[in-house]
Amino acid sequence: MRIEHLRERSDLGVISTGALKSLGVSDPGRRCTAGGPWQRMYPGVVLLHNGPPTPDQHLTAALLRAGPDAVVTGAEACRRHGLPARGPEIHLLVPRSVRGSGSLILERASPVPASSDVGGFPVVSAARAVVDACRFLRTADEATALVAAAVQRGRCTPADLAAEARTNRYGTKLAREVLRELGRAESVAERDARRLSRRIRLTTPHWNATIADASGVVIARPDAWYDDVGLAWEIDSRAFHYGPRDYERTLVRNSRYAAAGILVVQTLPTRLRDSPDAVARELKAAHRAAAARPRPPVHVVELG
């Protein structure tokens, strides 16, 4: 059979050896040897060219290897949800025991969780994907960054993640620890900021509180707010800025701080991580300066 006809019967150029034999290709493996026109992706799964597979072809081959009713989870599912997950592996949940191969992880799940069509592939919820991806991460910082991205980008809520971690406890210790540590924090940097604030024993600040002027006009929502002296602390990270106007919004925010008489400390996450003592000195000096001038007429907006 001509290669054009084989490609028509394939899915993105991916096809099983069984299907090839039924189409008259008696020895598909011979064409997958070094220098051959095709390549073996997984046992029983062939790609009808010998160049690098695309991510979609790779995932198609993995699902064909896994069999019917398999769903995508872990790092690959996170990427399909638009999250910056690391890890070359493809992690699939299957209703029956199937042996994985190489970086393909096939995990039996009963029942297989619900999935939705994401770009033509059956992908679990973002919360399940993040929790499963955290099982293969090595550090709390990596897990925190992934959890924070999922929440900030609106893919899921902390409650969704906590529910998944409780339901699927095997291997989820890191995810559960990160969720406990973050609390209301929104990034790795904010977590580090909370630790530093506790260490230097400044007045306990409000975190992510909304600040308004005497007329009730909202000024900003700083990462930390020292209400006794009217001091704002912003952890400005490009890693959590997603649009071309974010820099402009930061400048406008700082102008609102200045107009309201609010002192603001801006800290890059890299300095918070690499030079915490220097950041601590700056923050304490700013707190002293804020205390030495009249407190501006601003207040925390209480959420009802």
Q: What's the structural domain count of the chain?
A: 3
Does residue 115 contact residue 103 with C-beta atoms inside 8 Å?
no
Continuous segment of H or E residues that includes residue 15:
strand 14-16
Residue 231 lies in a domain: yes
Residues 290 and 202 in one domain: yes
Residues 77 and 130 in one domain: yes
Name the band, by pLDDT with cuts 50, 70 and 90, for residue 240.
very low
Residues 31 and 80 in one domain: no
Residues 219 and 291 in one domain: yes
Residues 111 and 29 in one domain: no
Amino acid letter for position 257: Y
Residues 192 and 159 in one domain: no
Tens of pLDDT, residue by residue over 111-132, are 999 999 999 999 999 999 999 9
Query: By residue range, what is the domain housing residue 120?
Result: 67-182
Question: 76 or 208: which carries more pLDDT confidence?
Answer: 76
Instruction: Give the CATH number for residue 206.
Output: 3.40.960.10
Residue 69's φ and ψ, nearest 5 degrees, are: 75, 5
Positive or negative, the CA dihedral 118, 156, 218, 234 is negative
| Structure-token match 């902390």, residue found | 158
Residue 224 lies in a domain: yes
Continuous segment of H or E residues that includes residue 146:
helix 140-152
- Rounded to two decimals, the pTM is 0.66
Q: How far apart are CA 190 and CA 225, in angstroms?
A: 13
Residues 194 and 292 in one domain: yes
Grouping H, G, I as helix, E, B as strand and the rest as coil, residue 82 is coil
| Structure-token match 């099982």, residue found | 135
Residues 157 and 120 in one domain: yes
Residues 31 and 86 in one domain: no
Tens of pLDDT, residue by residue over 155-192, are 998 889 999 998 877 888 999 988 887 664 456 777 78
Q: How far apart are CA 94 and CA 99, in angstroms?
A: 11
